[in-house]
Amino acid sequence: MTELFDSYRSNYRDVVQSSIDFSGLPHSFFMRAKADLLRELIAQRLGPEKPAMLDVGCGVGSFHPLLRGMVGRLVGIDVSSASIAQAQTDNREVDYRTFDGKSFPFDDASFDLVTAICVLHHVAPAEWAHFINEMRRAVRPGGLICVIEHNPLNPLTRLAVARCEFDRDAVLLGAGKARKLMAAGGLREIGARHFLLLPWEAKPARYVEGALSNVPIGAQYAAFGTA
């Protein structure tokens, strides 16, 4: 996996865009939707203080400019040293580190928020429980864990995954499975929201998406829980 993502450090964004070109939407649309959802979760679960955040599997850091002003300290880790080098070049204010894919290089309770955004489907299913446990270990008591993943029940999502060069070995997991993993890891107040149902950013479209967030038809979902 490390070698796979090392090879895509310079054209990661182009590869992702080519996999979703059929939607007629830019990759930035999907990233903004994630950022908006994360902003709502932070406000609802963590309050007005800007949290210290760990982003696990951050890749080249393309999501991180959208977090400016939303979080305080931001740390990104990834197994790909080439991706981390690119991320550091693009986002000099973020603390980036490589890790071995199993143990996060931080003490217990180091962060207010730990995220894994479209990462878990690259982890072997046998390692999912350990991955969630590491997320829980790294977050403080009362902190928030959030996993954003592709929704395997959405046929267009499956098409995008099939078209993506570095998703060939991906194993998709639904929101129900993600919630079960969180419950087994000892998290509380576990929830999930489906999003990216409508291809518009207008407020009426966002309102409809919000009203249907419990229905598993959006292209992606966020599963989250409190430590």
In the predicted structure, residue 5 carries a pLDDT above the cut 70: no
**Domain CATH code at residue 134:** 3.40.50.150
CA distance 4 to 227: 33
Sign of the four-CA dihedral 213, 215, 17, 57? positive
The 3-class secondary structure across 207-221, one letter per residue, is: HHHHHCCCCCCCCEE
Question: Angle between the 128-138 and 175-184 helix axes, to the nearest 10 degrees?
Answer: 60
In the predicted structure, residue 7 carries a pLDDT above the cut 60: no
Give ∠ CA 63-16-103 in degrees, rounded to 5.
55
Bridge-based pairing of strands 139-150 and 111-117 is: parallel
DSSP string for residues in 66-77:
GGTTT-SSEEEE
Distances (CA, A) of 33 to 17, 62, 105, 143, 221: 16, 14, 29, 22, 11
pLDDT tens digits for range 102-156: 999 999 999 999 999 999 999 999 999 999 999 999 999 999 999 999 999 999 8
Domain count, the chain: 1
Which of 86, 55, 167 has the alpha carbon at shortest distance from 122? 167
CA distance 83 to 55: 14
State residue 127's pLDDT score: 97
Distances (CA, A) of 186 to 55, 99, 132, 175, 183: 20, 24, 10, 17, 5
Which of 214, 210, 219, 213 has the alpha carbon at shortest distance from 150? 219
CB atoms within 10 A of CB 99: 16
- Where in the sequence is the domain holding 184, given as residue range(s)? 1-226
Amino acid at 2: T
Tell me what the mean pLDDT of segment 79-103 comes to: 95
pLDDT tens digits for range 68-85: 999 999 999 999 999 999
3-state helix, strand, coil in the chain (%, to 5): 45, 20, 35
Q: Quickly state the pLDDT bin for 57 (edges 50, 70, 90).
A: very high
For the ranges 45-54, 144-153, 185-194, 213-222, the lowest mean pLDDT is seen at: 213-222
Question: What percent of the chain stands above pLDDT 90?
Answer: 71
State residue 25's pLDDT score: 72
* 110: CB partners within 8 A, 6+ apart: 52, 54, 138, 139, 140
CA 13 to chain centroid, in Å, comes to: 16
Global pTM value: 0.89
